[in-house]
Amino acid sequence: MPPAPKPPAAVVLGLVLAAGALAGCEYTYDDARAGTVQGTATIAPAPAFTRDPLQQDPVSDAELGDWVSRALPDSTGPVVQADAGLLAAAEVRTISSPVLKTGTYILAIACRSQRRVTFTVRTETLTLVDLGLRCGINRENVIYVSTDSVLAVRVEARTAANYAFRVYRLG
């Protein structure tokens, strides 16, 4: 005679009881440390790098000098041109240098904004730098002026931004 089939309710009840019994189990062990495992709490370490978005908001004209001194490195040569300012959203500003003698120069640039700021540096005939700079990072570019030239520095921002740049002679 074949075994009688078990009613489905009995099978379900058996599974529920087995799951309940296993859910009450807890694995513990003794690692010979003083104190109980439950008595010590682990504290998560603070993140090493936090980015405060407000630190990228543009500063006022009154705070501009302090920001420039922190953002741009000290120059090692004579500064031939420097400028800094506050741009409104979608503003484009072009600054012309005095005539630079043939030679090698360092262009140091920095910006402070929630978005990128575009710096374009040209002579009368050649684009030397065309860069969309992520603000919060300063950048130095080595440029060579092959003939006596005037540099045109064009700064463009989609949102309000501070900008700063310095051109100084290398060597």
Percent of the chain residues topping a pLDDT of 70: 74
Q: How confident is the model at residue 110 (pLDDT cuts 50, 70, 90)?
A: very high
pLDDT at 50: 46
| Burial of residue 52 (number of CB atoms within 10 Å: 0-12, 13-18, 19+) | exposed
Region 115-142 average pLDDT: 94
Q: What is the pLDDT of residues 62-80, one digit of tens each?
A: 999 999 999 997 877 899 9
Region 75-99 average pLDDT: 94
Domains plus CATH for the chain?
57-169 (2.60.120.380)
6-15, 26-35, 82-91: least confident range: 26-35
39 has pLDDT over 50: yes
Answer yes or no: are the C-beta atoms of 167 and 72 closer than 8 Å: no
Is the pLDDT higher at 145 or at 42? 145
Pair of tokens at residue 29 = 């062990």
44-58, 75-89, 99-113, 121-135: least confident range: 44-58
Q: How confident is the model at residue 25 (pLDDT cuts 50, 70, 90)?
A: low
Tell me if the pTM is above 0.85. Answer: no
pLDDT at 74: 82
Residue 85: which of 120, 110, 107 has the closest Cα?
110
